Amino acid sequence: MWNLLIGGVVNLATSHLKNKAEEKAAVHERKITQIANDASWDERQADASANSLRDEWFIALLSIPLIGAFIPDARPYIEDGFICLKAMPDMYKAWLSAAIAASFGLKSLSAWRK
């Protein structure tokens, strides 16, 4: 009788440990797949932007206020432009930020903010 009870407990413990090991293996496999997918996304993004002028366009656009800040006659226009941008809806600013982040290969704005 004791052998039957001990055998049942051992089988239960073995089954539990086996399930835990399989669960950890599945989690590990999902992480590996996610890393592979991220690398694939980075490759596609790099290939897509290799022949694109979008990055250069955003750099030029973002440089205009920087350069204009050193030109006294341009300062009022730059200040007015930033006041106008500040008044724009948050949705538009988020879309613009996402477009610029995507252009520079950032998958999320959280990475950009860090």
Instruction: Calculate mean pLDDT across residues 8-27.
Output: 81
Distance CA 75, CA 51 (A): 34
pLDDT digits (tens, 9 = 90+) for 77-95: 999 999 999 999 999 998 8
pLDDT digits (tens, 9 = 90+) for 27-79: 888 888 887 776 676 666 666 666 667 778 888 888 999 999 999 999 999 99
Is the pTM higher than 0.85?
A: no
Buried b (16+ CB within 10 A) or exposed e, 58-80: beeeeeebeebeeeeeeeeebee
Closest of 53, 32, 34, 51 to residue 42, by C-alpha: 34
